[in-house]
């Protein structure tokens, strides 16, 4: 998974408009952008809770998931991905 630093506040601004009473833009840090199988996911970290809010350019939210499989030969196979999560759940987890 490739991490870049294409700073863009638009996804967080979209969520702040939807959840006006929950998201204060001043409480967030931009942490990076990852390419999740062709979809850019923007990573924002809450300054108070230290929790992440991961969103795409349209305000869809994602949670990070890491899977390690051990193959029969003893070789480990790692899969890192961001999977969709309900937006309101993601916002509530990030601010509490």
**Average pLDDT of span 19-48:** 94
Asked whether the predicted pLDDT for residue 76 surpasses 70, the reply is: no
How confident is the model over 35-48, as a mean pLDDT?
94
Cβ–Cβ under 8 Å, residues 60 and 17: no
Angstrom distance (rounded) from CA 64 to CA 47: 19
pLDDT given for residue 43 in this prediction: 97
Q: For position 65, what pLDDT does the model report?
A: 87
Confidence check: pLDDT of 84 > 80: yes
**68 touches 34 (CB < 8 A):** no
- The C-alpha atoms of residue 25 and residue 90 are separated, in whole angstroms, by 16
pTM: 0.85
Q: Which range marks the domain in which residue 46 is found?
A: 3-95
Number of independent structural domains in the chain: 1
Q: What is the mean pLDDT of residues 34-46?
A: 94
pLDDT classification of 60: cutoffs 50, 70, 90: very high
Residue 72 has pLDDT above 90, yes or no: no
- Kindly report the average pLDDT of the chain as a whole number: 89
Give the DSSP H or E segment for 95: helix 87-95
């Amino acid at each position: 998974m490739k991490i870049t630093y294409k700073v863009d506040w638009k996804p967080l601004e979209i969520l702040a408009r939807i959840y006006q009473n929950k998201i204060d833009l001043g409480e967030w840090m931009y942490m990076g952008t990852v390419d999740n199988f062709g979809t850019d996911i923007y990573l924002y970290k809450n300054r108070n809770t230290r929790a992440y809010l991961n969103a795409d350019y349209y305000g869809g939210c994602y949670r990070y998931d890491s899977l390690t499989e051990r193959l029969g030969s003893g070789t480990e196979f790692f899969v890192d991905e961001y999977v969709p999560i309900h937006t309101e759940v993601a916002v509530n987890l990030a601010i509490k």
